[in-house]
Every structure is written in C-alpha cells, then in structure tokens.
Structure 1
C-alpha cells in the first residue's frame, strides 16, 4: 500500500473513531452540548488558554467569522470568558468548561474501557502519536 493511501486510511479511521466515540457517549444532562465548531474552538482554548480569537482561527484553520460566532455561543453557554487588554482579546475556559471537560473525559474513559482491550504501552504510544499529530496540525501557519 502506498504511503499516501496508508495516511488517508489512518485519517479516515481517526475521524470515524472520534465520531463513533461521541455517538456512544450517553446523553448526560449535566454536560453542556457543543456543536463541531464549538468543540474545535474549545479544544484550542483548552490547549492554549489566553489565546486570541485570531490565534484560534489560525490554529484551527477556521474562518474568523465562524470563530466569532462560536465564541459568542460559548460565552452565552458560560464556557469561556474574554478579557481585553488594550486592543488584545484573550479567551480562557471557565470553571464550567473545566467541569464539563472532566465529565466528558470520564465518559470517554468508561466507554473505551468497555470496548478497548489494549495494553497500556500500546495506548501510550497511540496517544503520543495522535498528540504529536495534533500539535503539528495546529501550528500557526506561516
């Protein structure tokens, strides 16, 4: 199998597994529901607290208008706060966002514990691979 085919298969599986994990999480009323753009924006804010909306757009390869709409919605859901210093705006997650993420991670852990039978070393290596890939993909474009 050529490398580009292997990489395309890997990307396809990553996307589908993520979708399936989300689909298997039972609807929990204590979790704040986010759409795809809001999830992506929150992930970037969690990785880079205090980042600017422009930085979020650049790292996420998102249109600035979509980021602005997501930030307004996340603010209304009390998931983020924005602070302004001069002309610079910084975005940080709230306590509710942190609590929401902890509950979501607990649900993911429970779900995967029931469906995944892999040794810890394999999980660690896969996690490192995906974390490194994520970091390279969210590097601000030149």
Structure 2
C-alpha cells in the first residue's frame, strides 16, 4: 500500500497535468501568437532552458526521438521561433529567436490574466512563489539526460 506522501506526489503530478491542460485550453489563438503543436512546445521549452543545445542534446533532454525533434525544429524554424547555426565541426546550435521570446511573453501575459482572479490573497501569492520554486526544481531534475545504461 502506498504511503500518504507517495499518494500526495501522485496527486500533485495529476493536478499539474490537468491544470496545464486547462490553462492551455484557455490560451488565446490567432493574432500575433504563434500556435505550436505539443511536440513543438516541448522542444521550444528545452531550447528556452538550454539555448545553444544541439538537436541531439535537445532529443536527449526532451526524451523525444531524434526524428521527431528534427521535424519539430524544421517547423519551428519555418515559424521563425528558432535559429539553427553551425558551430565548430559538424554540430548545430539551436537558439530561440526574438519572435519566440515575444510569443512567450504574450502567452505568459494571457495565462497570468487567467489566473489573476484565482490567486488573490497574499498567502496564496506566497504559495505561488514557493510552487514556482518547487516546480522549477522538478523540471530541472526531470529534463536531465537519461543515465547511460552502460
């Protein structure tokens, strides 16, 4: 039987996924906002967190197949969201563009507007700050490259 804290962690993961879906469903479309597929969003998040990564590094960090990352990078480049530049040797460095930064700013502003009416007390605002710290810690841990099975 799972302990209460293990159940809490499972509940937390479930809530994170569900709240993310609900926020995403309220994301504005059209206008200046560049719409991205789920894979493109995932790849874009890795590029934002690790600018200058190679496509292989992005695949390792995202735990996506290299072919899916390549496809996403091509469409992100077509949408003006990433630049791919050669580095020394045969490697490529992927970085977000100013358009990507502006797109993220617009999305975050829309998401903040959605949540502003829910998070109204000083105590809940403090809880949000702590939640951001914990979730950022979790994200950093979860996007580490998988351990080498050797």
Instruction: Mark yes or no: TM-score above 0.5.
Output: yes
Say how many residue pairs are matched: 142
Q: 1:92 aligns to what?
A: 95
Shift of 1:118: 4.6
Corresponding residue to 2:117 among 106, 114, 124: 114
Shift of 1:8: 1.5
Corresponding residue to 1:139 among 140, 144, 147: 144
Deviates more, 1:119-128 or 1:68-77: 119-128
Q: Would you say 1:103 and 2:127 are equivalent positions?
A: no
Where structure 2 has 5 or more consecutive residues not aligned to the other structure, the ranges are none
Taking structure 1 as the reference length, what is the TM-score of the superposition? 0.94
Distance 2:66 2:117 in 1: 39
Q: 1:22 aligns to what?
A: 24
2:36 is paired with a residue whose SS is coil
Shift of 1:95: 1.0
Across the aligned residues of Structure 1 and Structure 2, the Cα RMSD in angstroms comes to 1.3
1:32 is paired with a residue whose SS is coil
Corresponding residue to 1:78 among 77, 80, 90: 80
Corresponding residue to 2:134 among 123, 129, 136: 129
Taking structure 2 as the reference length, what is the TM-score of the superposition? 0.89
Deviates more, 1:19-28 or 1:126-135: 19-28
Shift of 1:115: 2.6
Shift of 1:28: 3.9
Distance 1:118 1:61 in 2: 38
1:115 is paired with a residue whose SS is coil
